[in-house]
């Protein structure tokens, strides 16, 4: 029989015997989970899933969840197992990881003969509870498990690009947290994690539209505006925004100039700057001097806001390098560290 006549199941079996090329790397964020598969493919999916309330069975995971939001029957629930970098639902976390990993981790004899190496980044690596939850979940898939601090993975990603040699500063703006790391002699010296991130930008857009335009929009609309209308480049654009009139409650559409969001966004940038200054105050003067010389590496989803790196560079009077593929830094750093 020709290859074209073979069943999809046979194709999946053959795929399991592909040559091993690298570890399966996880970066489970509050909103988005990033995966680097064995063959180097980078994937993103929402860190949530739909679960049946009574049976606790997983009903949907990945992009299907986003498409179903707002149209869910009463007997299911949306589960967000990670909030602000911490596992808040250990059972849900285990269900989520196993659901997404079953596509990439063999569960038959091959898993015993040649188990996949799993790597995961932990924001709070010193928290025993977090390490235990991550470790227990991943060891259900493979006994070859390695947990690393997120800072270690980020340093591996940065040094692999030859941006820093032994000292440097990395600022990672995520969905719910902003991480600031100062490295000395290739080791983490001073750090600070602030529970503030891209969600604050999204919420500011919602509040600004309601206050200034009497327009009520949902989270998904505000997220889209954050990607298209939030910018620090000086270039102004107009956007037609659909929502609900705050007074009448009726559907409406208004034309918005993206300059409307600059005031609130600037206040949020000040929080990043303030956190950076606090980290520098707690660092040795010699290390701060090296950072002044080499500058800052900006990564995470927040670094995708146009012009943010330039604003930080102008305000701090430091060179700022913005990641080319910020969402991939942690998992690719895991792969080589």
Instruction: Write the pLDDT tens digit of every residue in 122-145.
Output: 998 888 888 999 999 999 888 889
List all residues 6 or more positions away from 185 whose beta carbon is below 8 Å from its beta carbon: 166, 167
User: Given this model, what pLDDT does residue 103 score?
Assistant: 77
What is the pairing mode between strands 82-83 and 58-61? unpaired
CA distance 303 to 157: 16
pLDDT tens column, 252-294:
999 998 888 888 788 888 999 999 999 999 888 888 888 778 8
First to last CA, the chain: 44
Q: Which range has the worst mean pLDDT, 84-93, 212-221, 285-294?
A: 285-294
User: Given this model, what pLDDT does residue 109 score?
Assistant: 52
CA distance 197 to 172: 9
The pTM assigned to this predicted structure is: 0.86
Q: Are 154 and 329 in contact (CB under 8 A)?
A: yes
Mean pLDDT of 301-309: 90
pLDDT tops 60 at residue 110: no
Tracing tokens 């990993």 back to the chain, one arrives at 101
Q: Where are the domains of the chain?
A: 3-143, 164-323
pLDDT tops 80 at residue 194: yes
- Based on the number of CB atoms within 10 Å of its own CB, is 17 exposed (0-12), middle (13-18) or buried (19 or more)? exposed
Q: Which two tokens stand for residue 90?
A: 């250990």
Tracing tokens 């269900």 back to the chain, one arrives at 95
CA distance 78 to 142: 27
- Beta partners for residue 35, in sequence order: 26, 43
pLDDT mean across residues, the chain = 85
User: Given this model, what pLDDT does residue 1 score?
Assistant: 40
Mean pLDDT of 102-109: 68
List all residues 6 or more positions away from 192 whose beta carbon is below 8 Å from its beta carbon: 179, 180, 275, 278, 279, 282
List all residues 6 or more positions away from 179 whose beta carbon is below 8 Å from its beta carbon: 123, 150, 151, 154, 170, 171, 172, 191, 192, 193, 194, 300
User: How many CB atoms are closer than 10 A to CB 23?
Assistant: 22
In Å, how far from its chain's centre is CA 286? 32
Ordered strands of the 145-149 beta sheet: 42-46, 32-36, 24-28, 118-122, 145-149
Q: Which range has the worst mean pLDDT, 106-110, 113-117, 277-281?
A: 106-110
User: Given this model, what pLDDT does residue 234 score?
Assistant: 67
CA distance 316 to 289: 13
Residue 106 pLDDT class (50, 70, 90 cuts): low
User: Given this model, what pLDDT does residue 321 score?
Assistant: 93
Which contiguous run of DSSP H or E holds residue 270? helix 262-281
Q: Do domains 3-143 and 164-323 have the same CATH topology?
A: yes
Q: Does domain 164-323 have CATH number 3.30.530.50?
A: no
Superfamily for domain range 3-143: ATPase, nucleotide binding domain (3.30.420.40)
Nearest to 159 by CA among 190, 126, 187: 187
CA distance 172 to 185: 20
Nearest to 247 by CA among 220, 207, 213: 213
Residue 19 pLDDT class (50, 70, 90 cuts): very low
Mean pLDDT of 14-35: 74
Nearest to 297 by CA among 108, 197, 154: 154
State what percent of residues in the chain have pLDDT above 70.
90
């Amino acid at each position: 029989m020709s290859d074209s006549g073979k069943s999809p199941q046979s194709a999946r079996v053959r795929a399991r015997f592909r040559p091993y090329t690298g570890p399966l790397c996880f970066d489970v964020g509050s909103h988005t989970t990033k995966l680097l598969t064995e063959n180097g493919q980078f994937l993103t999916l929402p860190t949530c899933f739909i679960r049946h309330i009574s049976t606790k069975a997983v009903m949907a995971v990945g992009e299907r969840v986003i498409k179903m939001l707002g149209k869910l029957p009463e007997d299911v629930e949306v589960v967000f197992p990670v909030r602000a970098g911490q596992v808040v639902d250990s059972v849900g976390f285990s269900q989520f990881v196993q659901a997404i990993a079953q596509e990439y981790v063999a569960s038959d004899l091959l898993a015993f003969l040649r188990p996949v190496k799993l790597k995961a980044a932990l924001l709070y690596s010193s928290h025993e509870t977090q390490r235990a939850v991550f470790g227990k979940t991943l060891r259900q898939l493979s006994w070859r498990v390695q947990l690393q601090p997120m800072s270690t993975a980020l340093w591996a990603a940065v040094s692999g690009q030859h941006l820093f040699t032994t000292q440097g500063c990395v600022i990672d703006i995520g969905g719910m947290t902003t991480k600031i790391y100062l490295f000395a002699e290739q080791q983490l010296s001073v750090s600070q994690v602030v529970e503030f991130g891209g969600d604050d930008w999204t919420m500011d857009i919602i509040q600004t539209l309601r206050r200034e335009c009497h327009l009520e929009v949902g989270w998904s609309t505000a997220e889209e505006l954050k990607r298209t209308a939030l910018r620090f480049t000086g270039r102004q654009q107009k956007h037609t925004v659909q929502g609900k009139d705050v007074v009448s409650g009726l559907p409406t559409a208004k034309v918005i100039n993206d300059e409307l969001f600059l005031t609130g966004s600037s206040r949020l940038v000040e929080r990043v700057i303030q956190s950076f200054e606090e980290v520098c105050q707690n660092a040795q003067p010699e290390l701060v001097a090296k950072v002044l010389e080499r500058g800052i590496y900006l990564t995470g989803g927040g670094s995708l806001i146009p012009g943010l790196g330039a604003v930080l560079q102008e305000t701090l009077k430091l060179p700022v390098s913005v990641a080319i593929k910020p969402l991939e830094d942690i998992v690719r750093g895991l792969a080589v560290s």
